[in-house]
Amino acid sequence: MVRSYGAKVCIACRKDFIPRSGVQRACSEACRAEARAKGLMAQRGRRKAKGSDSGGDREVGEELGVRVAGNGQGSTRRGQAAQHSDDVPELELDLTPMEDYIRALVQQEVRNAVRDVLREQFQEILK
């Protein structure tokens, strides 16, 4: 099964690219290494810049494309989501393993059901 993911923006070079998986955030190995060196791969979402006050929240948040409240008093994302639903980034989860497991489980159940029906029909024919 072939997956196609929507275009993303590389966290290192800011160019558009088509990811190979749902969790890929950098367009190339070079950008991935650069992002790791800058500490962009360590966490997702809003992060507080080292050694800064509430202004650092805003800088890091803007760099990641996340809106940060101006008071710096630990505002919650729920409150922001209710007020600014367009600013909340979409979650990206790779559910391929779950899909494969469910598909195999359903196929096994269908096989068992077909076997039971065929067994009953053959028993009626042989009577």
pLDDT given for residue 90 in this prediction? 73
Is the same domain home to 38 and 1?
yes
Number of domains forming the structure of the chain: 3
Is the same domain home to 70 and 102?
no
Is the same domain home to 5 and 19?
yes
Q: What are the structure tokens assigned to 54, written together?
A: 């509430």
pLDDT given for residue 27 in this prediction? 93
Q: In sequence order, which residues have a C-beta less than 8 Å from that of residue 54 and are 6 or more positions away?
A: 71, 72, 73
pLDDT given for residue 107 in this prediction? 94
Is the same domain home to 127 and 110?
yes
Q: What are the structure tokens assigned to 32, written together?
A: 């991935």
Say whether pTM exceeds 0.75: no
- Which amino acid is it at 81? A
pLDDT, averaged per 10 consecutive residues of the chain (127 residues), comes to 80 90 89 88 57 49 50 48 60 83 94 94 91
Q: What are the structure tokens assigned to 8, written together?
A: 């993303």
Is the same domain home to 9 and 21?
yes
Alpha carbon distance 4, 57 (integer Å): 34
Q: Environment class of residue 26 by beta-carbon count within 10 Å: exposed (0-12), middle (13-18) or buried (19+)?
A: buried
Alpha carbon distance 58, 66 (integer Å): 9
User: What is the residue whose two structure tokens read 């391929």?
Assistant: 96
**C-alpha pair distances (Å), 33 with each of 16, 80, 89:** 17, 32, 23
Is the same domain home to 107 and 73?
no
Is the same domain home to 88 and 100?
no
Domain assignment of residue 113, given as a range: 95-127
